[in-house]
Structure 1
Amino acid sequence: MFDLTLQIVLFRLAGLLAIAGVHGAALAGSARLLGDPGPAYDGRLTLNPLPHLDFVGGIGLAFFRLGWVKPVAIDPAMLKAGRAGLALAALAGLAAVLLLAIALRAARQPLLMASTGNLALGGVALLDIAADLCRWFVIFNLIPVPPLTGGLFLQAVAPRATALLARYRAGVIAALAAFVASGWAFRVLHPGNDLLAALFG
């Protein structure tokens, strides 16, 4: 987990940019389809990763494979499905990242056929590291705590608890960062990543 090289960090940063763009656009797009145009007005309905990046969460992804992107503000009162729409939007965002992981893995063979030598090896390493990062992102962000995507699940079933956690946002982020940096999150969630790898490659 902590055996890092500059190349690995750079490849993870590339994966982070892809994840941020795909996840943010999917989450904002699903919210729009469900009735809330707010995320689109906020500039989140875009594949450009920059509006979706979170500093602390990005560091977690780059160095520990576990982190998050900037939450998308969704108003459940605007959703056709009400608070259940929050869970649907969260699932759409995470499913998009999982599909990204599948697409990255599927691109390995065409890349190997189209190139040779160090270019092929470097390209395959980039695809593998980015796909691995996608799986870890999905597993970690299923945890129902804001600012993770799973926080939308909590908001759907317990909005008062979500509001309470929002009051202590800095403490929640510090706790998540400690959970990741200590290695406990990696150990706890490793079986979930292994399952996704077995199911989707």
Structure 2
Amino acid sequence: MDDLIQTITVYAIPVIFAITLHEAAHGYVARMFGDSTAWMLGRVSLNPMRHIDPIGTLLVPALLLISARIAGGGGFMFGWAKPVPVNFANLRNPKRDMIWVAAAGPAANLAMACGWALFYRLLDAGGVDEPFFLSMAKAGITFNIMLMALNLVPIPPLDGGRILIGLLPRKLSLAYASVERYGFIIVLVLIVTGLLSTLMMPFVSLGIWFIQTLFQF
């Protein structure tokens, strides 16, 4: 039990910031391209309390972490915050700018993974060998890469799906956008069947390897 509590404590801060800043990034970039909806609602903020969804940000990641510990291995962790409202009609070039707004979330997770890697390197350079902080840094890297990989899956309403809609020719993009009504069900089926974990883990492993190689640890 103590080991489980410690694991949850290690992951708590990285998970909360990974999920909430992902959403804030969407709102920030949307404002850059002409839509101030999220800004006016106070959602372009580094304050996690403005973004936390009790179920998606806290309960689901905690349950997945507990399940992984009970199973004695790793697993594909994910979560979500309250979606940042974006009115794509307000964007200066909706089809093109949608790509940048959608890509902002995964880009924020990549930046945070690098930030946690830098934190790890600073701890190591300073001779700090406290396992809690080193484990937290590694958790920050792992979860951010997982969240980035999940959101880049090309199924709307995930960010990868919106990016693909923005890149496709107009007729194809309109047809593919219609998949969004079933997107959540498709993702849920992939999660329950374990296919999502099977498909994503090679990309997650590659991402973690890249970060570790880049920061040399």
TM-score normalised by length of structure 2: 0.75
SS in 1 for 2:79: coil
Unaligned runs of 5+ in 2: 65-75, 213-217
Distance in 2 between the 1:102 and 1:153 partners? Answer: 23
Match of 2:72 in 1: none
Distance in 2 between the 1:173 and 1:162 partners? Answer: 13
The alignment-based identity, stated in percent, is 24
Question: How many Å apart are 1:116 and its aligned residue?
Answer: 4.7
Match of 1:103 in 2: 115
**Residue 78 of structure 2 aligns to which amino acid in structure 1?**
L
Match of 1:66 in 2: 78
Question: How many Å apart are 1:195 and its aligned residue?
Answer: 1.6
**May I ask how many residue pairs the two structures share in their alignment?**
192
Cα gap change, 1:66 to 1:182, in 2 (>3 Å):
farther
Mapping of residues 41-80 of structure 1, within 5 Å: 41-58=40-57, 59-62=59-62, 63=64, 64-80=76-92
Contact 1:68–1:147 (Cα < 8 Å) also in 2: no
Match of 2:71 in 1: none
Show CA shifts across 1:77-136 (max 9, x none).
21123221111112122111101101101111322455656xx11100011012100000
Contact 1:141–1:150 (Cα < 8 Å) also in 2: yes
Match of 2:33 in 1: 34
Distance in 1 between the 2:140 and 2:177 partners? Answer: 31
Distance in 1 between the 2:33 and 2:199 partners? Answer: 34
Cα gap change, 1:161 to 1:73, in 2 (>3 Å):
farther
Mapping of residues 1-201 of structure 1, within 5 Å: 5-58=4-57, 59-62=59-62, 63=64, 64-114=76-126, 116=128, 120-156=130-166, 157=168, 158-159=173-174, 161-162=176-177, 165-166=180-181, 172-201=183-212
Specify the structure having the higher radius of gyration (Cα).
Answer: 2
SS in 2 for 1:5: helix
TM-score normalised by length of structure 1: 0.80
Distance in 2 between the 1:60 and 1:39 partners? Answer: 25
Distance in 1 between the 2:132 and 2:144 partners? Answer: 18
Contact 2:24–2:84 (Cα < 8 Å) also in 1: no
SS in 2 for 1:198: helix
4+ residue runs over 4 A deviation: 113-117
Contact 1:60–1:177 (Cα < 8 Å) also in 2: no
Contact 1:142–1:150 (Cα < 8 Å) also in 2: yes
**Residue 95 of structure 1 aligns to which amino acid in structure 2?**
A
SS in 1 for 2:159: coil
**Residue 141 of structure 2 aligns to which amino acid in structure 1?**
A
Question: How many Å apart are 1:24 and its aligned residue?
Answer: 1.9
Unaligned runs of 5+ in 1: none
Question: How many Å apart are 1:192 and its aligned residue?
Answer: 0.7
